[in-house]
Chain A
Amino acid sequence: MAATDPVLKPDFGAKRTHFILTDEHEQLRESVRSFATKELAPHAEQWEETTFPDSVFRRMGALGFLGLDKPEQYGGQGGDYYSALVLAEEIVHSGSGGLAMGVAVHTDMAMPPILAFGTEEQKQEWVVPAIAGEKILCLGITEPDAGSDVAGIKTRAVRDGDDYVINGSKTYITNGHRADVIVLVTKTDPDAGYDGFTLFLVPMDAPGVVREARLRKLGMHASDTALLAFQDVRVPASAVLGQVGKGFYHIMWELQGERLIGAAGCVAGAQHCFDRTLQYALERTAFGRQIGRFQAIRHKFAEMATKIETARQMVYTTAWRFKNGEYPVREISMAKLYASRIAVEVADECIQIHGGAGYMKEYGVERVWRDMRLNRIGAGTDEIMLDVIGRSYGL
């Protein structure tokens, strides 16, 4: 035992594996990282201009990365929830926040509700090809006049014989331009409050689905973000996902998994940015020494590292609860709030440490901030997280 050693010295270079993760997870980590580094990162710059190609889905499908935690009967790997977490962490090595988001929307936002609430036919029709990367999924919640206020959505689905007719619009839809199908949140009974929502699986090539503007944004340039219109879109009753009238609860459940995965991505993204900046601070000299050896800069790194470690522990502990059958909405909200905040703070501090270089595109640090900044808005803003947490105490 170390405690009996006469001279006890910390080994800062030792490999650190969190106790929730097994060797198998670490092997998966290696293979995702290797894929992201070799096959994605070299194109990240170019994809900022063009958005990443659909072939990334097919390639990831072929490698089994799109169904890591999904059942084997649908082509998944049958792994546990942690394997999805590992993917979210390692995909940051692509250097493309937009790509990571496009993939996460597919695997961790749109796919889980189909698996959880869908019929066998729906799973065969959409999940199987989605896991293979042959079909791409998106999720439609937000509307131009309903963001944080999910219950304020106006998209209507009206029963008409054996069909439903859908009218409305959705915005900020990731994968909206490339998707084959959308998990669409609609209102089927405007008088039923939270019990008046229904989810639909709407094929994006259905008549009346209009892919409008490609939205330009602060970051996540590699992802496609759509404004969509639904004009008298007719779908059969078999397109209902889950129970009629239970859509709000279905989507609130979906958001929990999404938020935790998002938080894991934030931690990994912050760590990646930290590592690169540490390298820079050891290479760049000013006033005759490495800038990292100035106390003020050293302390910046110490602050960042402490924030990242705290966020990581929150995410892992919450993931453990989630995996073990709890529905830890409060803790997930805390992890999402904290991880996205610190990721943005870390990216900002990394820009500062890079000085003028940090402001230049060439070094890629400013892009991390632009990409990360979305996390404090998407999947529930900071303010919504604070509200969820506050209300969880009966306030």
Chain B
Amino acid sequence: MHPSPFTDEHDDLRAAVRRFVETELRPNVREWEDARWFPDAVFHRAAELGFLGLKYPEEYGGQGGDHLHDAVWTEELARCGSGGVAAGLGAHTGIATPPIWKFGTEDQKRRYLAPAVAGERIAALAITEPDAGSDVAAIRARATRVDGGWTVRGAKTYITNGVRASFLVTAVKTTGEGGHHGLSFLLVDTDQPGVSASPLEKMGWHAGDTALIALDDAFVPEENLLGRENEGFALIMANFQWERLMMALGAVGAMQDAYDRTVAYVKRRNAFGRPLSGFQALRHKLVDLATTIHAGRCTTHDALARFVAGENAIREVTMAKLLTQRSAFEVIDACLQLHGGAGYMEEHEIERMARDARLGSIGGGTDEIMREILGKVLDL
């Protein structure tokens, strides 16, 4: 018996998400990749099916489930064939809205969380800046006190959903002090002249919306301070474990998908008078890939089980993130190789999966940052 944290009660949800992915996402992703955009209607539809509020209380329109339900959603979403679509939906449910749920006031939950769960307002988490990536404490976007709130100046970059977002959950400096101190979380409405976003072209995630955002005296009312003033660093850190678990779950789903497609291909394609799967070297390669995927899945599910049980699972989550992001890229890259010339062509979609997977070792904390964290956790 596989030590999966999931129980029978998750099966129905899994079947429902899978149906949505197979019938409403997958058939459209090629078009959306070409358009460098997927429609907002996808959020509306996912909300209608209840997927945007799986772990949130019913009073905000959620399903009253827990992180395991979100985990099912994440695993299945990874099989839609477009990292950009999965990331757009995942950023909304998994990284932008959790801080509101966790730290928001009742008023903030009603104004931001509930409409986000309903798919009416799309959220983006905005932390990274052009000169502050891995080094989060180097954030320079600055909020200045004004009558009734703050005005914010600065730039945020690589923001998923940044162009389409109706509000930003963003970290800014609220004091002149350096380092971790003096950061605060603010909810910034984007329908104001002080906020402008431009799309960024990327290696992968083409259907996704990734923005460079300029904040030019954007106004934030007093009541949009999320959590406590000058204690925003803790909020940034608070959701990292879940974000990284989601990435691990997504990577496992994506590499399994690539593997399944590749097995089908090598059994179908002939060379030198036999199917490719008839060659020992290729068979052994596939066995290695299956083994890597299994290791990634076990590591991820172990971390997930600990996380949902309330353990401090920073070690296991960080390891799962580090292992699976690199593995996903390597596995999918090997799948591309197994496709030969076809693997290099857009038509077979495996090249897209490789491009999409490459972000994993960079986003949500680079592999190097994961190693830094683990160095500390392991007391090295």
Which residues of A approach B to under 8 Å, CB–CB? 142, 145-149, 152, 171-172, 215-219, 286-287, 294, 296-297, 348, 351-352, 355-356, 358-362, 366, 369-370, 373-374, 376-378, 381-383, 386
Contacts and interface: CB of A to CB of B under 8 A. Distances in A.
A358 B201 CA distance: 11
Given A147-B340, A351-B358, A370-B203, 6 more contacts: A218-B355, A356-B133, A366-B203, A373-B336, A381-B340, A383-B282
Contact of A355 (B134, B271, B336, B337): B134
Contacts of A171: 341
Interface string B264-284: 000000111100000001100
27 contacts: A148-B272, A152-B273, A172-B345, A216-B346, A217-B351, A218-B355, A219-B344, A286-B135, A296-B371, A352-B361, A352-B366, A352-B368, A355-B133, A355-B134, A355-B362, A356-B128, A359-B202, A359-B203, A360-B200, A361-B201, A362-B201, A369-B358, A373-B344, A377-B341, A377-B344, A381-B337, A381-B340
A359 B344 contact: no
B149 interface: no
B311 interface: no
Given A286-B134, A286-B135, A356-B128, A149 B337 contact: no
A376 B333 CA distance: 11
Given A216-B347, A377-B343, A152 B272 contact: yes
Contact of A142 (B134, B337, B341, B347): B341
Contacts of B340: 147-148, 377, 381
Interface of B: 128, 133-135, 138, 157-158, 200-204, 270-273, 281-282, 336-337, 340-341, 343-347, 351, 354-355, 358-359, 361-363, 366-368, 371
A383 B362 contact: no
B152 to A, nearest CB: 21
A365 to B, nearest CB: 9
A149 B345 CA distance: 19
A356 B351 contact: no
B303 to A, nearest CB: 23
Contact of B138 (A286, A294, A370): A286
Given A217-B346, A217-B351, A352-B367, A359 B362 contact: yes
A146 B340 CA distance: 11
Nearest to A366: B203
Contacts, number: 110
A148 B203 CA distance: 28
Contacts of B337: 376-377, 381-383
A365 B202 CA distance: 11
B344 A217 contact: yes
A355 B366 contact: yes
B282 A286 contact: no
A215 to B, nearest CB: 6
B281 A386 contact: yes
B271 A216 contact: no
Contact of B358 (A219, A296, A359): A359
- A-B complex: 8 closest residue pairs judged by Cβ atoms: A366-B203, A218-B351, A361-B201, A286-B135, A149-B271, A216-B346, A356-B158, A149-B272
Contacts of A361: 200-203
Given A149-B271, A355-B366, A360 B201 contact: yes
Contact of B341 (A147, A286, A294, A358): A147
Contact of B344 (A351, A355, A374, A382): A374
A109 to B, nearest CB: 15
B204 to A, nearest CB: 7
Most buried by A among B134, B273, B336, B345: B345
A67 B95 CA distance: 57
Contacts of B270: 145
A373 B128 CA distance: 29
B271 A147 contact: yes
A217 B354 CA distance: 13
A377 B347 CA distance: 16
A297 B134 CA distance: 14
A282 B368 CA distance: 17
A359 B358 CA distance: 8
Given A216-B346, A352-B366, A377-B340, A359 B359 contact: yes
A310 to B, nearest CB: 22
Contacts of B361: 352
Contacts of A218: 336, 344-346, 351, 354-355
A155 B343 CA distance: 23
Nearest to A215: B345
A369 B329 CA distance: 13
Contacts of B354: 218
